Amino acid sequence: MRTLISGGIVVTASGSQPADVLVDGERIHAVVEPGTDPASWQADRVIDATDRYVIPGGIDGHTHMEMPFGGTFSVDDFASGTRAAAWGGTTTIVDFAVQKKGTSLRETLDTWHGKADGKCAIDYGFHMIVSDVNEQTLKEMDALGGEGISSFKLFMAYPGVFYATDGEILQAMQHASDSGALIMMHAENGIAIDVLVGQALSRGHTDPRYHGITRPPDLEGEATSRAIKLAGVAGAPLYIVHLSCDEALTAVAMARTEGRRVFAETCPQYLFLTDDAMAGPGFEGAKYVCSPPLRPSWHLPKLWNGLRTDALSVVSTDHCPFCFNEEKQLGQGDFAKIPNGIPGVEHRVDLVYQGVVAGEISLARWVEVLSTTPARMFGLYPKKGEIAAGSDADIVIYDPRARQTLSARTHHMAVDYSAYEGREITGRVQTVLSRGRVILDDGRYDGAEGHGQFLSRSTCQLLG
């Protein structure tokens, strides 16, 4: 099947230009001057992209489909979650396989292949959450590179569940330094947070807003600085996940200025929502409980500045959906029992585009933080994250002038609320190609469960 995408403005991380894109089967054949005669390319299909942006498909490097958490599971499985991702212009996810204490990484990986293989509408890879750092796990971390797992998430939060001590973190980082793996860090001081949570509950402070109050920015900043120092001692690169506040951003920016191999992502919820949401009427605030928590409004421009200056390299969603009327209710009367997580895999491309509309970031930077840098960070470039000859034809045709209103009534995630209910935005995904197949066109979905292939990833490509 030969496709011609004609008349659009091709936007990549290095800039934009009017160009036609020739797709042959699953790959991009060439990017050429506009005006291609369909007959000269023997095109089976022509997609008119006039007045549209043609961008590489989004890569969401942080999702949690069917994730076990807080005694329940996130409600999108790999079928519904990847379908929703496709609606929103994301053509690759890297999800987290979660090691249960007492279980090997091998078993964990097999379990996650069992959940995802044959289900996904778009291509997918796995990171591995390591919750049991021991000799066996460390050996397995070294071995899993051969299975396409090149990044491992550790937690400084959630004592008794995912938490790793500083000593365990250091050991894991030392292994990563030898193997080339990337350590991803949930940087919040969980030991101190648990003290604050216990104190709040003993005073009868049980509402969702206390989730934010007991996880102050200083405890994210402190953990971020500590993780950076530990990575320095181990000689390992470090990727801070879901960075939410200026305290942590300052630590990352300083480390990068010093030339350390430290990277960080933020998420749309930290760029668009504030801690006010957790103080909504009744139990509404539970919808917005995630960790790290949403922050006061003054952090938001700091994060946008971090994106502009490359202190923040990536925007991922940390998509972890729990229904308000079901799973979130587990936290009625005790904010600490609210499953942590916010849905968002469908709206990342659109939301970050609002940063372009507002003049916060350039078009090229939009593509860079959503696609090209995640591809490089997680060992997928140039197969993914690029519009160039030889790359997979994962392509989004984006209408920059369309208007839409975000709502649970119209979204495709399997969750009963939207964190952005009623928000009016500019821009909309018009057409999505996944490895050359048109899976979405003008509001018609034509994807298929099982079209998505597992991506065996190489190591981080940004380490020079």
Binding site for ligand URP (CB under 6 A): 64, 186, 242, 290-291, 318, 320, 340-341
295 binds, among ligand URP, Zn ion, none (CB under 5 to 8 A by kind): none
Helix axes 190-202, 217-234, angle to 10 degrees: 160
Considering beta carbons, is residue 74 or 373 the nearer one to ligand URP? 74
Minimum Å gap between C-beta 64 and Zn ion is 5
Considering beta carbons, is residue 176 or 320 the nearer one to ligand URP? 320
Identify the residue among 127, 175, 186, 383 touching Zn ion (CB under 5 A): 186
63 binds, among Zn ion, ligand URP, none (CB under 5 to 8 A by kind): none
Residue whose tokens read 């936290």: 331
Only one of the segments 97-105, 163-171, 179-187, 278-286 lies at the binding site for Zn ion (rule: CB under 5 A); that segment is 179-187
Minimum Å gap between C-beta 224 and Zn ion is 12
Minimum Å gap between C-beta 336 and Zn ion is 16
431 binds, among Zn ion, ligand URP, none (CB under 5 to 8 A by kind): none
- Nearest residue to ligand URP, by Cβ distance, number only: 340
Kindly give the residue spans of alpha helices, DSSP state H, lying in 46-126. 78-87, 105-116
CA–CA dist 277, 274 (Å, integer)? 6
Considering beta carbons, is residue 75 or 320 the nearer one to ligand URP? 320
- Nearest residue to Zn ion, by Cβ distance, number only: 186
Minimum Å gap between C-beta 95 and ligand URP is 11
Tokens found for residue 41: 């390319």
Considering beta carbons, is residue 186 or 256 the nearer one to ligand URP? 186
Which of 78, 73, 139, 134 lies closest to 106 in space, CA to CA? 139
Considering beta carbons, is residue 242 or 348 the nearer one to ligand URP? 242
Cβ-based neighbours of 450, under 8 Å, separated by 6 or more: 118, 119, 120
CA distances from 389 to 26, 28, 66, 367, 386 (A): 11, 5, 35, 18, 9
Cβ-based neighbours of 127, under 8 Å, separated by 6 or more: 94, 95, 96, 97, 149, 151, 152, 153, 184, 378
Considering beta carbons, is residue 340 or 434 the nearer one to Zn ion? 340
What is the number of alpha carbons within 13 Å of residue 32 lying toward its C-beta? 15
244 binds, among Zn ion, ligand URP, none (CB under 5 to 8 A by kind): none
Helix (H, G, I), strand (E, B) or coil at 225: helix
209 binds, among Zn ion, ligand URP, none (CB under 5 to 8 A by kind): none
- Provide DSSP, 233-251: HHT--EEE-S--SHHHHHH
Contact between 84 and 413 (Cβ < 8 Å): yes
List binders of Zn ion among 16-35 (CB under 5 A): none
290 binds, among Zn ion, ligand URP, none (CB under 5 to 8 A by kind): ligand URP
Identify the residue among 265, 318, 346, 386 touching Zn ion (CB under 5 A): 318
Only one of the segments 76-84, 138-146, 313-321, 449-457 lies at the binding site for Zn ion (rule: CB under 5 A); that segment is 313-321
Direct distance between the N- and C-terminal alpha carbons of the chain, in angstroms, rounded to an integer: 38
Rounding to the nearest 10 degrees, give the CA dihedral for residues 52, 54, 60, 61.
Answer: -150
Considering beta carbons, is residue 89 or 341 the nearer one to ligand URP? 341
CA–CA dist 127, 380 (Å, integer)? 13
* DSSP 8-state code for residue 340: P
Which of 56, 44, 28, 88 lies closest to 445 in space, CA to CA? 88
Minimum Å gap between C-beta 341 and ligand URP is 4
Minimum Å gap between C-beta 320 and ligand URP is 4
Q: Please tell me the count of residues contacting Zn ion according to CB under 5 A.
A: 2
* DSSP 8-state code for residue 99: P
418 binds, among ligand URP, Zn ion, none (CB under 5 to 8 A by kind): none
95 binds, among Zn ion, ligand URP, none (CB under 5 to 8 A by kind): none
Which residues of this chain interact with Zn ion, rule CB under 5 A? 186, 318
